[in-house]
Structure 1
Amino acid sequence: MSSIHPTAIVDPQAELDDSVSVGPYTVIGPHVKVGTGTSIGAHCVLEGRTTIGRDNRIFQFNSIGAIPQDKKYAGEPTGLVIGDRNTIREFCTFNIGVPGAGGITTVGDDNWIMAYTHIAHDCHVGHRTTLANSTTLAGHVELGDWVTVGGLTGIHQFVKVGAHAMVGFASAVSQDVPPFMLVDGNPLAVRGYNTVGLRRRGFSSERLAAVRQMHKLLYREGRTLEQAREAIRALAAQTPAAADDVALMDGFLANATRGIAR
């Protein structure tokens, strides 16, 4: 049976699984869908065309699915989709998308999203990310799987952060961050690669060596980006165990649109 506090206001058209719990004074709009086992704390507002998966923990005082902070938005039927098993702490704001850019904001599965995080319109957050307190994603930002972002960090619109990258505390991210890299600062600088995170995720010594070599080719030998990409692609044959990692890096570099962080 669902557990909806008597002070909560849930629109009759909202679709909540019977196992969903809703805390006091929360407001849920007519186009919201919430999956099995998700809990929603007190004083939250869930609105817009928002779909939330199963087993999420949404703490108190969150704004989920509000219209984008974009002057061009004129009420179009855009959306927000949140996956499964996410933890969303207090005072976060997630916005729906805008037309012309896909019209949808997405958050994947198993993310740990800490207090005061803002996810703007048309952002795409992958799986198993960690976004520390007061992380701010401007519109159209893309975060790959396993990305970690330190607190008080701002990420410029249209920036991409590759899988397994780590962004340090209080950074200003205005260029794309390649996978596996460790960056921080204002202005942003590449400090190395995410050794600790990769080891925690079970990367073998061969894969770690390949990541170390990709970092060297990109940042330590004075190569142009195209020269570095050519050398990186050759690593797949030299280290077959890291072929997927090499492909991930090469694909990211091929699609970087704001230049890569240096």
Structure 2
Amino acid sequence: MMSVHPSAIVDPSATLGRDVVIGPFAVIGPDVTLGDRVEIKSHAVITGHTQIGEETIVFPFAVVGEVPQDLKYRGEKTRLVIGKRNRIREGATLNLGTEGGGGVTTVGDDCLFMTGSHVGHDAQVGNRVILANQAAVAGHCVLGDDVIVGGLSGIHQWVRIGRGAIIGAVTMVTNDVLPHGLVQGPRGELDGLNLVGLKRRGVQRSEITALRAGYQMLAQGDGTFLDRARRLHDESDSEHVREMTDFILGATDRSFLTPK
């Protein structure tokens, strides 16, 4: 049931799963692996050591698996691994990893990369992540599950964005974002919690209440931000609060966006 348009260029060494569909003028490189029921629409380019999971759709003029936008890259064999059921829309770009960054860029399942969005080298993108139109994620970034990045926003290299956080449109994020945080403004200020996202995901009211109290403690408690996070970690038995404090106390190459 495989369907490959006669005008498509598919290298004989590429690995194609069952029921793959490749549209007109698409290009599939020799080291590409396409899972079952993947659809590559017209004029898309899939290259490099790239693996794409089943039922993912790549739309026209997307470029997936090209070399990193990193001047230190010297042609080493690095990878891009994309999970299942992703939607990679028109003109989106996802790059291979680099030797210095671990060698692999990863994307989870059920993500949506809208028109012109970008995932840089060695980024680690979780499940159900949405990058809106023209959003850009720089190299080495880590995006947890259920993160949403608004249109025309940029994420600085090495930044971590915790699970369930939302970044508003036209926002530059230069520091780590707490799980379930709400960030907006031209220079990315932490402006509360993503309460709408928490409710949509069915988080219990008691957990949301605990998160709100924990956020206030981080904003207004005694001591430094890290001191407040350590104290909150020891005092709270909330799963979501512990997730937030573990994130703060974990290893990072950046500072944090802190509550107002």
- Specify the alignment match of 1:80 in structure 2: 80
Q: Deviations over 1:86-122 (max 9, x none)?
A: 1111100110011022110001001111110110100
Unaligned ranges ≥5, structure 2? none
Count the aligned residue pairs: 257
Residue of structure 1 equivalent to 2:150: 150
Question: How far is the alpha carbon of 1:222 from its aligned partner?
Answer: 5.8
TM-score, normalization by structure 1:
0.95
Letter in 2 for 1:257: D
Aligned to 2:115: 115
Identity %: 43
Q: Is the 8 A contact 2:226 2:248 kept in 1?
A: no
Pairwise CA RMSD of aligned residues? Answer: 1.2
Shift of 1:253: 0.7
Equivalent residue, structure 2, for 1:256:
252
Q: Give the alignment of 1:75-224 within 5 angstroms.
A: 75-221=75-221, 223-224=223-224
Q: Counterpart of 1:100 in 2: which secondary structure?
A: helix
Structure 1 residues 191-229: Cα deviation after superposition (integer angstroms, max 9, x where no partner): 110000000000101110111122112223464122221
SS of match in other structure, 1:214: helix
Alignment partner of 1:76: what SS?
A: coil
Does the CA contact (< 8 Å) of 2:34 and 2:51 recur in 1?
Answer: yes
- Matched residue type, 2:205: S
Looking at structure 1, the residues matched to 232 and 126 of structure 2 have their Cα atoms a distance apart, in angstroms, of 24
Structure 2 Cα separation of the partners of residues 133 and 223 of structure 1: 40
TM-score (normalised: structure 2): 0.96
* Counterpart for residue 26 of structure 1: 26
* Alpha-carbon distance in structure 1 between the residues aligned to 2:235 and 2:110: 31
Partners of 1:222 and 1:47 lie apart in 2 by 53
Q: Distance in 1 between matches of 2:242 and 2:40?
A: 39
* Pairing of 1:54-69 with structure 2 (within 5 A): 54-69=54-69
Deviation at 1:37, TM superposition (A): 1.0
AA aligned to 1:246 is V
Secondary structure in 2 matching 1:81: strand
In the aligned structure 1, how far is the partner of 2:222 from the partner of 2:32? 51
What secondary structure does 2:101 align onto? Answer: coil
On the 8 A contact 2:183/2:189 being kept in 1, the answer is yes
What's the secondary structure of 2:99's corresponding residue?
A: coil
Amino acid of the structure 2 residue aligned with 1:259: S
Cα offsets for 1:115-156 (capped at 9, x unmatched): 101101000100011111011011101100000110000110
3-state secondary structure, aligned to 1:212: helix
**What CA distance in whole angstroms lies between the structure 2 residues aligned with 1:34 and 1:133?**
25
Deviations 1:170-198 (A, max 9, x none): 00000000101101112221111000000
Aligned to 2:53: 53
Mean Cα deviation higher: 39-48 or 209-218: 209-218
